[in-house]
Structure 1
């Protein structure tokens, strides 16, 4: 294994860590915000579910891995390890910055932005499969928040009837299960995108044409560690600062997130768990009227979403030029 291959695989693990740090909030914010659990207990248990989803992604989310391996670029893009390392640098840089700022952002958007900008920088604009990116990547990413908000509304009506007072205890357990399910969905949805970048290093090094199972285990461990070590700030934003919700509303938001994210991962459709979960939580706030939403915080989150793609892309392109001068 060359030093560049080792650096690339390490960078993929670092991106999994950053993803866990930013995204653990999407699974546990409803538990913490509704008073159902304290942060420490919620993050440890849900991290196990995330790790399980990440490991099973090696089998259940093959389509997603293939899409992020060769579905966004044309034959003009002569992908190198240097290119893949730069893409990882762009995504890592932006996701970690957002995490330290307490802003929930999309790792998927960060990867897509970094791939596009770095490819244009390295190979020219014709190296990007623009039609495929728009149809298979960008359209699902932008539609998923709308679907999540609508599904959360519909699910709440059903759950409100089911979780009447005599079923309250069952709903408490269901809230925990929904958080675990949401974490599992996150691992299943996000890990293949990161593993796809690891595949580039393996393929170019002549080691293998598929990512080995142990690499998914490494990514799973890194993802869980990121949530445990750095996940509090973003969780605080979603749990307390944007909307207030009870455990039934939290259960609803988690179920909507799980249904959409697991379905998308199995069918190879890249959705952002950040956009899905944040929109579902926002939907529960809007159920109580527009005054129930802290629009300043919601606006900051939206702004972070909008600049994620270009910000990660600029970091990725700059990393490519810098690494090209050094290596």
Structure 2
């Protein structure tokens, strides 16, 4: 296939992945303030979009990890072709769409890494992947970061409730934390831009290097930074309401104080990781923080069934995306016909997913509805108003009532 055509296809698919990353991960920053009423849903996602855009310009360390770290560079440059990068992106995009359909806050980062690794192994061999960098910059942070964020969120929630313990029993006694949530959730959105937008920048840079259009070891060009920042911001503004519902109400009932603690813990963990060049999963960090805050608030309960589904999604993300990426790489090896089959299949699956999502639509109006619980009807648990007919009082019996014996 003509080099220019495949490079354009890869850049277009990479920007679409960036878009899906935006609406997939909006919940990381805005699920808890929406759930507690700190911000209106549409205002929250608009703010997140702006801060994602700003955050994308603040760092390129993660982009360098992807463009010159996970895939090894040989004597003639990187060992992966633009066709294989295209195949890897197919795996990442499809897994992102599937988990979004089911409202699972899985890792867009791990979907991307899985797709790339699967494509590289099938197309080049195991030697193309630097497993030391993968372990050091991806796997270990994926295990350590959510646990760390959860512990910090647990401690911060305990501290917040201890400081404000005199307000126990007062419904609005800790309402001031809602204003704090505006700041803390904004910090998470900014941190998300500094980490997740970099991943697509790294992919496009890797493509340009593999095509011989950019020098090996160099960082992303200015036009790459701008286009990726815009793509993730537009995706963030589109909502991602399904995952907002899961993180905002599905794991635990979030109160303002614990929401503030969770968001602060998430932001601190992501910003530290971005500075160190760790390609972190912001979704895993946010989920760990929400669980930790739920454990830290007295009387709160964590829905471990939902947490188990999320954890299962985490475990499956990298290998599932790798399998799809590997199959796509096998197809692109057939030449232009294989690339066309890959592209057509991906478009068909994406259209089907969007069609299925419209049958059970989740938007700003119902994203924060309480999660149905056992013993409560779905109508009541959905938060929708139910009109109850007035019951007429019983008429008094005529005549003198007999005295009881």
Structure with higher helix content = 1
Equivalent residue, structure 1, for 2:135:
134
Cα contact 2:71–2:80 (8 A) shared by 1: no
Q: Which stretch of structure 1 is more off in the superposition, 201-210 or 2-11?
A: 201-210
Cα contact 2:175–2:256 (8 A) shared by 1: no
Counterpart pick for 1:73 among 71, 74, 78 = 71
Equivalent residue, structure 2, for 1:192:
198
Aligned positions of 1:204-219 closer than 5 A? 204-209=210-215, 210-219=219-228
Q: Deviations over 1:186-222 (max 9, x none)?
A: 1101111211110022224444343222222221221
Q: Which runs of 5+ in 1 are unaligned?
A: none
Q: CA RMSD in A?
A: 2.2
Alpha-carbon shift at residue 119 of structure 1 (Å): 1.5
The whole-number CA distance in structure 2 between the counterparts of 1:306 and 1:143 is: 14
Q: Which stretch of structure 1 is more off in the superposition, 43-52 or 1-10?
A: 1-10
Alpha-carbon shift at residue 167 of structure 1 (Å): 9.7
Alpha-carbon shift at residue 168 of structure 1 (Å): 5.5
Equivalent residue, structure 1, for 2:209:
203
The whole-number CA distance in structure 2 between the counterparts of 1:211 and 1:287 is: 41
Equivalent residue, structure 2, for 1:26:
28
Aligned positions of 1:29-48 closer than 5 A? 29-48=31-50
Q: Taking structure 2 as the reference length, what is the TM-score of the superposition? A: 0.75
Alpha-carbon shift at residue 281 of structure 1 (Å): 0.3
Q: Which stretch of structure 1 is more off in the superposition, 242-251 or 218-227?
A: 218-227
Aligned positions of 1:307-322 closer than 5 A? 307-322=316-331
Alpha-carbon shift at residue 157 of structure 1 (Å): 3.7
Q: Which stretch of structure 1 is more off in the superposition, 150-159 or 274-283?
A: 150-159
Alpha-carbon shift at residue 248 of structure 1 (Å): 1.1
Equivalent residue, structure 2, for 1:49:
51
The whole-number CA distance in structure 2 between the counterparts of 1:291 and 1:249 is: 10
Aligned positions of 1:150-299 closer than 5 A? 150-160=151-161, 171-209=177-215, 210-288=219-297, 292-299=301-308
C-alpha change, 1:258 and 1:167, in structure 2 (3 Å) is farther
Q: Which stretch of structure 1 is more off in the superposition, 200-209 or 109-118?
A: 200-209
Alpha-carbon shift at residue 260 of structure 1 (Å): 0.6
Cα contact 2:14–2:89 (8 A) shared by 1: yes
Cα contact 1:256–1:280 (8 A) shared by 2: yes
The whole-number CA distance in structure 2 between the counterparts of 1:169 and 1:303 is: 35
Bigger CA radius of gyration: 2
Q: Taking structure 1 as the reference length, what is the TM-score of the superposition? A: 0.92
Cα contact 1:118–1:320 (8 A) shared by 2: yes
Secondary structure of 1:92's counterpart equals: helix
The whole-number CA distance in structure 1 between the counterparts of 2:180 and 2:66 is: 34
The whole-number CA distance in structure 1 between the counterparts of 2:142 and 2:271 is: 14
Cα contact 2:37–2:178 (8 A) shared by 1: no
Q: Deviations over 1:4-46 (max 9, x none)?
A: 1111111111111110111000100111111222221111111
Alpha-carbon shift at residue 87 of structure 1 (Å): 1.5
Aligned positions of 1:82-121 closer than 5 A? 82-121=83-122
Q: Which stretch of structure 1 is more off in the superposition, 111-120 or 169-178?
A: 169-178
Alpha-carbon shift at residue 323 of structure 1 (Å): 2.2
Alpha-carbon shift at residue 100 of structure 1 (Å): 1.7
Equivalent residue, structure 1, for 2:364:
none
The whole-number CA distance in structure 1 between the counterparts of 2:299 and 2:121 is: 41
Q: Deviations over 1:276-308 (max 9, x none)?
A: 001100111122479711222111111111100
Cα contact 1:20–1:223 (8 A) shared by 2: yes
Q: Deviations over 1:232-265 (max 9, x none)?
A: 1110111112210111111110000100101110
Q: Deviations over 1:152-195 (max 9, x none)?
A: 12222444466686996763322101111000101101111211
Higher RCO (CA-CA < 8 Å; seq separation 6+): 1
